[in-house]
Structure 1
Amino acid sequence: MLYMHDLLQESGLMRFLPTALTRIPLSGLFLHTHGMTPGGLFVIKASPRYTEADLISKAFACGAVVVLKEGETVEFQRVEKGWIVSIPRILDQLLSLCDYFYPNRPDHTVAVTGTNGKTSVVHFLSQLWGWAGYPWATLGTIGALSSRPDFHFQTASLTTPDVVSTARFFHQADECGIQYAAVEASSHGLDQKRLGKGPFEVGIWTNFSQDHLDYHKTFQAYWQAKSRLFAIVAKYAIVHASVPDQDQLFEICRKKKVAVSLYGNPSCPAFYQPLKIQPDGAVIHIQIESFQWQGFIPLMGLFQYDNLVAALYAFYLMGGSLSKVGPFLGSITAPKGRLEYAGSHEGGRVYIDYAHSPDALKKVLETLRLHTKGKVGVIFGCGGDRDVGKRLFMGRVASDYADWAIVTNDNPRTEDPWKIAMDILKGCLKGELIFDRAEAIQKGIERLNQGDILLIAGKGHEQGQIVEDQIMPFCDLQQARQWLSL
């Protein structure tokens, strides 16, 4: 249990603290009321949805005993349910506050960044650790998962949660005896320092292509955000050979004395080669330095074999035995919503995937083309209030790599769905517009013939459709299986 006295004794603010405040026990540090425990210390961040007064009221209602907020000077206010403390530059102190509250980390940690593939690499790592008998935990787009049934962690639905939640995740994992942990590192999360100070034993960069330019504005700024991962990596950097500006990345790692290894083609120490593509996977050859493996992998997609190689390489560099996990590779599974098989209709197959960037959609459609001699159709949209520039390219990818396409809603948020659709259709001349996503899925399934494949792209594992500020229940997999069962 920590006290305000413990937190501020090195900050120069102790002389201002009322005696009653120094003795208040604090159960934890929180930036969100979701999952907050009674007796918590709540730090206010500016919010477009709530006023400062609303956040203070909500924090106390959820059990906070002290609320920290930004102020020009140090001030303390006693209120009915606790204390409100104003401190200058409070967000600058968050990393130190995290160290006080959540100082522990598992012995072996991995952070994975990249435009696509983060979830899959983390998921594959968890399976490798499980086969090796290592207790593990992961955090990312599909939530917090663990091999330990006594590990329970709640956080907001972000690829990379806030810095406090991330620190708490590692601390709780360590307290549960978990030795191996992997997290997804989004460009937003890296830019906003949500991963804290690290250090991570291994950092992985899977690929780099257009996305999130509504936030980063330029490719250079996007690249810089991704590269920040390696400033908090302690030992190994694993980078796909296709990632641009490798000289800059090597220099970052050289200054940190981090060993850099490339993967992804035969000139690299880690790569795969496809030997025979089959409808439900492929026979491939994998090489990780001197280790070699050959056999059937029940995964769809060349990009997934790259992701598996990245996970295997990280596992190996962290001391894992590849010969021990090799016999299990034939049973590896993809994460939920990543080329997930939904069922069949009239001899045609239906898959669900999270692809929501031009490069991801292109790779998935190219993959499906390899696994069928029939036609490939796609249902997709683009999110509202997000990167407008990618919509045209998403449309072009669908037009170039699918035989037919249906453009539909995908989290329009506060933006006009008609405008989003028109932006996409400028690049997708073969696209049919069906705003209602459930109807689009029904019509897409009805178009299937023997040997065809339908891809329902964009939402993957998601369980809702965001319209305005409301999340309406919606699941692509459930909708597809509903129509497939008729």
Structure 2
Amino acid sequence: MSSPRPAHLRATDLAAVATLVDGVLEGEPVPVSGVSLSSQDIAPGDLYAALPGANAHGASYAAAAAQAGAVAVLTDAAGAQILEEAVPHLPRVVVADPRSVAGTVASMVYGTADLDLTMYGVTGTNGKTTTAYLINSALEALHHTTGLIGTVETRIGQDRIKSVRTTPEAPVLHALLAVMAERGVDSCVMEVSSHALSQHRVDGVRYDVALFTNLSQDHLDFHATMRDYFEAKASLFTPQRSRRGIVCVDDDWGQELAHTASVPVTTLSSVAGVDADWRLEAGDEPADFTLTGPDATLRLRSALPGDFNRVNTAMAALALMAAGIPAADAERALWQDPHVPGRMERVEVDAPEGLGLPLVVVDYAHTPDAVGAALRALRPVTRGRLVVVLGAGGDRDRGKRFAMGRAAAEQADLVFVTDDNPRTEDPAVIRAAVLEGATAAGSAAVLHDVAGRQQAIAAGVRAAFEAGPGSVVAVVGKGHETGQEIGGTVHPFDDVAEVKSTLRELVTAAGGRA
């Protein structure tokens, strides 16, 4: 399904595009009314951005783009040579690095620079999705018309579109923002990934409020080092990309960012002894906490379990206040219970009273820190055994597999190591790396190697049921995802659905009906 385009298009002269990006115009200065990086998503009147790729140059698909209605091409010198042979009649703008200017061009073509949208951008290793949903839910409670762009979905008011990636490519993003403005959206909340920042996907967007949640090991298959990973995140906190920042300084990376950001920054800490503008202090009840700053104290609660979700809620409150929403309104709005798909999501079925089904939670935790945090959040509500089902993704950061296994075994009583998205790797090799870390933990956790995620989820839920009342299961790694990539093919798979299936089988076996 193609991403939506604005209904009212405006023509932008190709000569103006060339001037904007210091490019060379070859051919007639035709008007363009849209931008696309994909020859398969071309609309009539589009400027096709033909980028160099790992396997082929985008200019190789220019003929197909022209047939679909593209009237001009943005490319580099290598692409221009291909165009000269394939579609010599097609006007083009030639620049050194077309990806680096695609966002700027899309902003001009779709007119997004002057939109009356309050923009929130959330970055960090963990907590992006939950924090974005918390902000979005609070804004809706305050009667704002909102847009949401992130890992799970894109929302335009009440319309929902399943997301392909956390942050879309720049032309898609600017088209979405233009559509939001057309439909009366006044606030847009976005997850901003490190990939997006490195690949210029958010160029041409300036966030009113940028948030940094935390940084821990992830994506080292893409970023060479943790320093490179941090620098990508930190680039959001520059005048070109944001007006002000909210930074959690609970980790060393956050503390460094607070000192090096080149936009005004408000800091938050939940850690004793760490200096910050705002301090989070836990209340008497597990979900309750106070947020105390220079000129206000907010009494808040986290609808989701765990210390990290209190931090996410506090970050949302500070973002709302930074955007001009009064503290009392932010406090009231954040008492809503937002449904955040696949984030500490409780999975239940109808069951006879007293059956003793385990509490089962599905969470997207797919880093060592996130796995440990999710299990620590569940330990206080576990009266029986704490069970975790997890795997690690293939063709991704191999260095975190050992640490994920260790984190699981350090916190849980039973660990079922299974397949996540193995992609093109041998699933058994991935599981072995996770199990190596789990074994190295040297804990009393009972370890299981289960090929097949469906079988592992069923085994984990049944083990918790057999362990007796008060047992808890965490199925982590995939969260909201509804597919599993194996050998280059994405097969339908939903952790929540699999959990429900096993719970219903337990109810049926006990003589009940779910």
Match of 2:104 in 1: 96
- Alignment match, 1:237: 245
Choose the corresponding residue for 2:219, options 202, 205, 212. 212
* Structure (1/2) with the larger strand percentage: 1
1:308 corresponds to: 313
- Structure-2 change in CA distance of 1:86 and 1:179 (3 Å): closer
Please, which of 299, 320, 326 is the counterpart of residue 325 of structure 2?
320
C-alpha RMSD over aligned residues: 2.8
2:511 corresponds in structure 1 to none
1:274 and 1:247 mapped to 2: Cα distance? 21
Whichever residue aligns with residue 189 of structure 1, its letter is A
**Residues 10 and 129 (structure 1), Cα distance of their counterparts in 2 relative to 1, 3 Å cut:** closer
Match of 2:260 among 249, 252, 257: 252
Offset of residue 373 of structure 1: 1.9
Structure 2 CA distance for partners of 1:391 and 1:249, relative to 1, 3 Å: same
Shift of 1:234: 4.0
1:429-448 correspondence to structure 2 within 5 Å: 429=439, 430-448=446-464
Alignment-derived partner of residue 482 in structure 2? 463
Amino acid at match of 1:465: Q
The residue aligned with 2:280 is: 272
Give the 3-state SS of the residue equivalent to 2:252 in structure 1.
Answer: coil
Match of 1:428 in 2: 438
- Post-superposition CA distance 1:215-257 (Å, at most 9, x none): 112111111111111014443211112232556534533xx35
Q: Do 1:77 and 1:84's aligned partners in 2 also have CA atoms closer than 8 Å?
A: no
1:442 counterpart letter in structure 2:
A
Name the SS for the 2:222 alignment partner.
helix
Amino acid at match of 1:476: D
Q: 1:172 to 1:441 in 2, by over 3 A?
A: same
Match of 1:189 in 2: 196
| Structure 2 counterpart of 1:485 | 504
The answer to whether the 8 Å contact 1:385/1:413 transfers is yes
In the superposition, the TM-score normalised over structure 2's length comes to 0.84
Using a 3 Å threshold, how does the CA distance of structure 1 residues 93 and 205 change in structure 2: closer, same or farther? closer
Secondary structure of 2:90 counterpart:
strand
Helix, strand or coil at the partner of 1:338:
coil
Counterpart in 2 of 1:379?
A: 389
Counterpart Cα distance in 2 of 1:432 and 1:69: 52
Q: Say if 1:114 and 1:205, in contact at 8 Å, map to a contact too.
A: yes
The answer as to whether partners of 2:277 and 2:294 remain within 8 angstroms in 1 is yes
Q: Distance in 2 between matches of 1:233 and 1:97?
A: 16
Aligned-partner residue type, residue 249 of structure 1: L
Q: Select 2:74's aligned residue among 45, 68, 78.
A: 68
| Pairing 1:37-48 to 2, within 5 Å after superposition | 37-48=43-54
Distance in 2 (alpha carbons) for counterparts of 1:369 and 1:129: 32
User: Counterpart of 1:207 in structure 2: which amino acid?
Assistant: N
> Which letter does structure 1 place at the counterpart of 2:211?
I
Q: Say if 1:341 and 1:350, in contact at 8 Å, map to a contact too.
A: yes
Kept after mapping to 1: 8 A contact 2:386/2:413: yes
CA distance in 1, matches of 2:474, 2:255: 37
Quick one: which amino acid aligns to residue 468 of structure 1?
Answer: G
- Alignment partner, residue 343 of structure 2: 338
> Unaligned regions of 5+ residues in structure 1, if any?
none
- Paired residue for 1:118? 128
Amino acid at match of 1:191: S
> What TM-score, normalized by structure 1, do the two folds share?
0.89
CA–CA distance in 1 between the matches of 2:203 and 2:84?
Answer: 30
| Aligned mates of 1:180, 1:302 — CA distance in 2 | 28
Partners of 2:254 and 2:175 in 1: CA distance: 33
The 8 Å contact of residues 274 and 283 in structure 1, kept in 2 or not, is answered as yes
Report the Cα distance in structure 2 between the residues aligned to 1:239 and 1:119, rounded to whole angstroms. 16
Q: Which amino acid aligns with 2:260?
A: I
CA distance in 2, matches of 1:14, 1:48: 25
Paired-residue identity, %: 27
| Deviation for aligned residue 1:169 | 2.6
In structure 1, C-alpha distance between the alignment counterparts of 2:59 and 2:17, rounded to whole Å: 24
Q: Give the equivalent residue in structure 2 for 1:292.
A: 297
Matched residues in 2 for 1:455 and 1:467: separation? 23
C-alpha separation in 2, matches of 1:330 and 1:73: 53
